Amino acid sequence: MTPVKPVHAPQTGFAVVGNELQVGGVALSLLAERVGSTPFFAYDRALLSQRVAQVRAALPPAVRLHYSIKANPMAALVQHMASMVDGLDVASAQELRIALDTGCDPAAIAFAGPGKTDAELRQALAAGICINLESMREIDTVARLAGELHVAPSVILRINPDFELKSSGMRMGGGAKPFGIDAEQAPGAMARLAAHGIALLGFHIFSGSQSLKADAIIEAHARSVALAQQLAEYALAPLSMLNLGAGFGIPYFPGEQPLALDAIGANLAQCVARLHGQLAGARVSIEAGRYLVGEAGVYVARVTDRKISRGQVFLVTDGGMHHHLAASGNLGQVIRKNYPVAIGNRMASTALETCSVVGPLCTPLDILADRMELPNAVPGDLVVVFQSGAYGLSASPVGFLGHPAAREVLVGTQLQRTQDEVLK
């Protein structure tokens, strides 16, 4: 038996009409004309809505869903997400401004990050949002600044658990970490808050992200709830919030399969039902960034040259690692693997060849596809990188070599839909 070569999970979100990939109902070639220049990122409004609806359907109604702006801070996209989710998570003062601009209730905005400066904490306090406290210094600083501003701070403790989310792309908990307060130091931190006269609202326990294993996520959620329940015994008053992070991943590379959400939802329902003591009335929230927006976006670059070097076909494009560091393999990957890639104006083509797609930068790091099977393409064609709705432009070295910036568009009209309609 020949071993089966792993392939990318099928890209079924974006429709294809004839040769043209459709984004938000617009044929890609026409969309490129509408944008006015390449490269660009295009996000599909309906796919965003659909994903939120899918997650809601899988989660128990009692669980709140938050959008983590860091996955994609484009203002129009955040506005759309804000209209559908229960809260927004921010990681900087700039993300806080974007969140407030949407009109989101400040009480539904939470600020996490291991190095919050005094200035940022001051802004967060003035905005009245929830602050995820991650160190003893932050506790003392918030107490001092709240006094100066004459405001009552809304705070939860971010806990570094004594376990990690297994088989996750990014391990955020377990062992020595800069994130949050070690679980074993939490009772001391709670006493310190009490000494400052600050009421604790709850806990944020986040053990990792980008996991495709439902079992691992279920285990992490169960252990997080158990840990929260243990720590809640040190609380002086009932707690109202428990943020379990999420850890939901999306399939990027050959052989990866989409996450099975239903079992995760069922487990969360059990977790919620088990809450007791000071956590009995707490609302559980899940924060997701990549999972909500990652699959709703594509990166589009135009082929500028087609070269054959020593038998290998290279499509040179006007886009590359400066706009999409993750797809080039330079954002946390150890061994580079290809994102799913297509020729967006030759979707029906059956004349295929093995080729590499590179960008315009003078570095061998600038690669979007390494020896993939793609339709024969020529200058003017549009290369599409799927799974590009999260950690794309905002996570890329846009000034590298001084090439033109990429634009971002959110495509599709704003329709009033019920959840049922969206799910259809």
By CB under 8 A, tell whether 403 contacts a second copy. yes
Whole-angstrom distance, CA of residue 213 vs CA of residue 236: 36
Tokens 């406290």 correspond to what residue?
A: 133
Please name every residue paired with 204 in a beta bridge, in sequence order, or none if there are none. Answer: 158, 243
- The alpha carbon of residue 177 and the mean position of all alpha carbons in its chain are separated, in whole angstroms, by 21
Min dist. Cβ of residue 115 to a second copy (A): 3
φ/ψ of 372, rounded to 5, equals -105, 160
Q: Is 318 in the site for a second copy (CB under 8 A)?
A: yes
- To the nearest 10 degrees (0 to 180), the angle between helices 186-195 and 136-149 is 20
Instruction: Please report how close the Cβ of residue 375 comes to a second copy at its closest, in angstroms.
Output: 19
Closest CB 14 distance from a second copy, rounded Å: 26
Minimum Å gap between C-beta 1 and a second copy is 31
Determine if 50 is a binding residue for a second copy (CB under 8 A).
no
137 sits near a second copy (criterion: CB under 8 A):
yes
Q: Binding segment for a second copy among 23-31, 75-83, 290-298, 305-313 (CB under 8 A)? A: 305-313
Q: Is 325 in the site for a second copy (CB under 8 A)?
A: yes
Q: Which stretch binds a second copy (CB under 8 A): 26-34, 254-262, 306-314, 410-418?
A: 306-314
Stretch that binds a second copy, among 53-61, 93-101, 235-243, 345-353 (CB under 8 A): 93-101
By CB under 8 A, is residue 401 in contact with a second copy?
yes
- Yes or no: say if 183 and 162 are a contact pair by the CB < 8 Å rule: yes
What does the block give as tokens for 323? 């706009």
Evaluate whether 347 touches 28 at the Cβ level (below 8 Å): no
* Residue number with CB closer to a second copy (154 or 396): 396
Query: What are the φ and ψ backbone dihedral angles of 19, each rounded to 5 degrees?
Result: -90, -5
Q: For residue 400, which of 343, 287, 323 has the smallest C-alpha distance?
A: 323
Binding to a second copy, residues 354-373 (CB under 8 A): 356, 358-365
With CA atoms as reference, report the closest residue to 172 among 118, 117, 132: 132
- Write the binding mask 165 to 184 for a second copy: x where contact by CB under 8 A, - elsewhere: -----xxx--xxxxx--x--
According to DSSP, the β-strands at 208-211 and 168-171 are: antiparallel
**CA–CA separation, 258 and 145 (whole Å):** 44
36 binds a second copy (CB under 8 A): no
Measured from the CB atom, the residue of 20 and 318 that comes closer to a second copy is 318
Taking CB under 8 A as the criterion, the residue among 311, 413, 418, 424 binding a second copy is 311
- From the CA atom positions of the chain, what is the Rg in Å? 23
As beta bridge partners, residue 133 has: 157
Residue 304 lies near a second copy (rule: CB under 8 A): yes
Note whether 381 binds a second copy by CB under 8 A: no
Alpha-carbon distance of 258 to 366, in angstroms, equals 28
Under the binding rule (CB under 8 A), the answer on residue 75 touching a second copy is no
**Residues found near a second copy in the complex (CB under 8 A):** 70, 73, 91-95, 98, 112-117, 135, 137-138, 160, 170-172, 175-179, 182, 304-307, 309-312, 314, 316-318, 320, 325, 330-332, 334-335, 356, 358-365, 379, 393-404
